[in-house]
């Protein structure tokens, strides 16, 4: 099963952001999308999710046009973790996660015991079960990011799309989320995430897609594409590497 964007032109009513984009995400793989600020990553994600209409080309899920899939089926198929937001209404954290379960029942039905159990298990998975009865508007940015992750997983989708999932997280939680992403792919989900840290792509992704000015700069296996040359071209900045003598692993440093 795949999500596929074919020959996509992406953008907003008054602005073309990118064109000629072909993206494919299969179950069981992790695709990392990297690129400079304003390069089009979020616009591409939203187009693949059907939140923005492509100006050209099409998005297909399971080889059917995305727009032909009923909304409820889309919700069961694809989970989305947007860039962290503040929230307007003071829902409890548990209620926010339970919203992920509406993909599996009626929007207006009361949550079942199963829904509550799954939601609490997801909060526990990210070490934030103690926040369940707190107001979503009164927790930290990093905590909100973990709640949104828990909500997307409570949805039990086949694909999960994450926009900068580690942006507000502390060092420990960044590692936890990277491990979680790998675990999800091992469990058979297809995962697409954006990041500003090539090291996170190195840790968690099977493939990477480099996007600059709405154009694909390179795409392929992590070890082939994450090179100093490609990263310097992507960010128009100097990049250095640190090599660990024992493991042979490489880390990238900006500047």
Contacts of 235 (CB under 8 A, 6+ apart): 36, 254
The reply to whether 38 sits near ligand ATP by the rule CB under 6 A is yes
Query: Rounded distance, CA 45 to CA 6, Å?
Result: 13
- Determine, following the binding rule CB under 6 A, whether residue 165 of this chain makes contact with ligand ATP: no
Query: If you search the block for the tokens 């927790």, which residue do you land on?
Result: 139
Min CB(238)–ligand ATP separation in Å: 19
User: Of these, 23, 25, 31, 42, which contacts ligand ATP (CB under 6 A)?
Assistant: 42
Residues 198-217 that bind ligand ATP (CB under 6 A): none
How many of the chain's residues bind ligand ATP (CB under 6 A)? 11
Residue from the set 4, 25, 31, 39 that interacts with ligand ATP by CB under 6 A:
39
Shortest approach of ligand ATP to residue 15 CB, angstroms?
4
First to last CA, the chain: 40
Q: How far is CA 12 from CA 47, 51, 216, in A?
A: 10, 11, 19
Nearer to ligand ATP, 12 or 249 (CB): 12
Q: Contacting ligand ATP (CB under 6 A), which of 17, 128, 208, 239?
A: 17
Q: In this structure, are strands 78-81 and 159-162 parallel, antiparallel, or unpaired? A: parallel
| Vertex 2: Cα angle to 52 and 225 (nearest 5) | 85
Asked whether 34 and 15 are in contact (CB, 8 A), the reply is: no
Q: 118 or 211: whose CB is closer to ligand ATP?
A: 211
Q: Give residues in contact with ligand ATP (CB under 6 A).
A: 12, 15, 17, 35, 37-43
């Amino acid at each position: 099963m795949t999500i596929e964007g074919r020959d996509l032109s992406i953008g907003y009513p008054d602005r073309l952001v990118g064109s000629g984009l072909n993206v494919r995400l299969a179950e069981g793989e992790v695709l990392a999308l990297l690129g400079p600020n304003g390069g089009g990553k979020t616009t591409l994600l939203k187009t693949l999710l059907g939140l923005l209409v492509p100006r050209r080309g099409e998005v297909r899920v399971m080889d059917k046009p995305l727009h032909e899939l009923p909304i409820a089926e889309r919700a069961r198929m694809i989970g989305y973790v947007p860039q962290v937001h503040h929230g307007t209404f003071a829902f409890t954290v548990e209620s926010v996660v339970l919203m992920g379960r509406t993909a599996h029942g009626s929007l207006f039905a009361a949550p079942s015991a199963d829904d509550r159990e799954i939601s609490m298990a997801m909060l526990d998975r990210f070490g934030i079960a103690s926040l369940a009865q707190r107001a979503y508007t009164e927790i930290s940015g990093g905590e909100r990011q973990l709640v949104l992750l828990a909500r997307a997983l409570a949805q039990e989708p086949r694909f999960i799309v994450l926009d900068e999932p580690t942006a507000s997280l502390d060092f420990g939680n960044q590692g936890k989320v990277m491990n979680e992403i790998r675990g999800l792919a091992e469990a058979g989900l297809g995962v697409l995430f954006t990041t500003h840290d090539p090291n996170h792509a190195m840790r968690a992704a099977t493939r990477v897609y480099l996007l600059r000015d709405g154009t694909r700069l390179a795409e392929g296996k992590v070890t082939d594409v994450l090179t100093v040359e490609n990263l310097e071209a992507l960010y128009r900045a100097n990049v250095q590497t640190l090599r660990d003598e024992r493991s042979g692993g490489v880390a990238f440093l900006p500047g």
